[in-house]
Amino acid sequence: MHPLYSYIRPLLFRLPPERAHALTLTLLRLAGRLPPLGAGLRALLAAPSHPVQVLGLDFPNPIGLAAGYDKDGLAWRGLACLGFGHIEVGSVTPRSQPGNPPPRLFRLPEDRALINRMGFPGQGANFVRQQLAGRRPPGLVLGVNLGKNKDTPLENAVLDYLSLLHTFAPSADYLTINVSSPNTEGLRDLQARQQLGQLLSALSQERDSLTAIQGRHTPLLVKLSPDLSDAQLDDALQVILDTGMQGVIATNTTIDRPTLTSALASETGGLSGAPLRARSTQMVRRIYQLTGGKLPIIGAGGVMDAASAQEKLQAGASLIQVYTGLVYAGPGLVRSILKAF
């Protein structure tokens, strides 16, 4: 943890989690808009370069910010000042929606964890597209995480994803198909073999058509749940390979509750942070083994420090994403991980 954050974190933790998050995003948005402030952050948090080439893209380093932190693309330029090699905004839905009623975000400091049941709140695709236009921080890889609207019937979900593909393929470096959030009713059913096959086949065909028109290929990734059984994971991976997806993100949050000490452990929603570390690493390792290392993996879940990041890479991940680790370790997390490489 950066020494400065050790003083700031207790103040932030006195605020309700969602309010503290909104305040942080506001400050980071300012850093992205005011060059002197952004330059100061970059100088303070400067980290060694560790370039890696994955998905046909050049990443300045393997550490990225997971979707969910900057849902509406408000602060990604400021977040880039923290040293991330890539940032994934979203999840974005075609139309704006409020998400689930608050309270919907909970800190579990005793467990170094969060529980969220946000439900894809956001301003919608057109708003986010506008936030992504214009200046791009040098070298940064930008991804967009795609989700369906809550009121879109599951049988029509493909229409939401196709709409989002058209909106963001021209501007994003890669797109992630989110079929694994536990906070939109029925969404995780799309991971089943038949449903996933229909969805990804349609997206793959449409992406190829866009590539022919635009002359620009946008990699498609699929974000998977840590709660899949071995058989379900095998099925999902076979579909992902058969439909020509470029990679997977392992994993989303879990609805399982391992042994936790916090009084908030019984809150419903997706659990993230340190308690997810072993499960997500195990899934990264299994995906790597099942695919013979041919399918790029972004490891996410319980990356709280350099050791947990290295663990994901050793299990077979090519890239890492953090979210909850940033809440607990602060803005120096990327620098501390990269310095340990």
Residues annotated as part of the active site: 181
What is the maximum alpha-carbon separation in the chain?
A: 54
pLDDT at 241 over 80: yes
Give the three-class secondary structure for 22.
helix
**In sequence order, what are the beta bridge partners of 87?**
65, 142
Dihedral class, residue 63 (left if φ above 0, else alpha if ψ from -120 to 50, else beta): beta
Q: How many CB atoms lie within 10 A of CB 313?
A: 17
- Return the pLDDT at 1: 67
When pLDDT is averaged across residues 321-331 and rounded to a whole number, the result is 96
Distance between CA 42 and CA 50 in Å, rounded?
A: 16
> What is the separation, in whole angstroms, between the first and last Cα of the chain?
17
Distance between CA 331 and CA 336 in Å, rounded?
A: 10
Pairing of strands 57-59, 52-54: antiparallel
> Which residue range forms the structural domain that includes residue 234?
3-340
* Domains identified in the chain, total number: 1
Question: Where would I find the beta strands (DSSP E) of the chain?
Answer: 52-54, 57-59, 63-65, 86-92, 105-108, 113-116, 141-146, 174-178, 220-224, 247-250, 270-273, 297-300, 319-322
Cβ-based neighbours of 339, under 8 Å, separated by 6 or more? 47, 48, 306
- List pLDDT tens digits, range 16-43: 999 999 999 999 999 999 888 888 888 8
When pLDDT is averaged across residues 42-55 and rounded to a whole number, the result is 90
When pLDDT is averaged across residues 49-73 and rounded to a whole number, the result is 97
Residue percentage of the chain with pLDDT more than 70: 99
- List pLDDT tens digits, range 254-301: 999 999 999 999 999 999 999 999 999 999 999 999 999 999 999 999
Residue percentage of the chain with pLDDT more than 90: 85
Query: Can you give the CATH number for the domain in which 42 is found?
Result: 3.20.20.70
Phi, psi for 306 (deg, rounded to 5): -65, -40
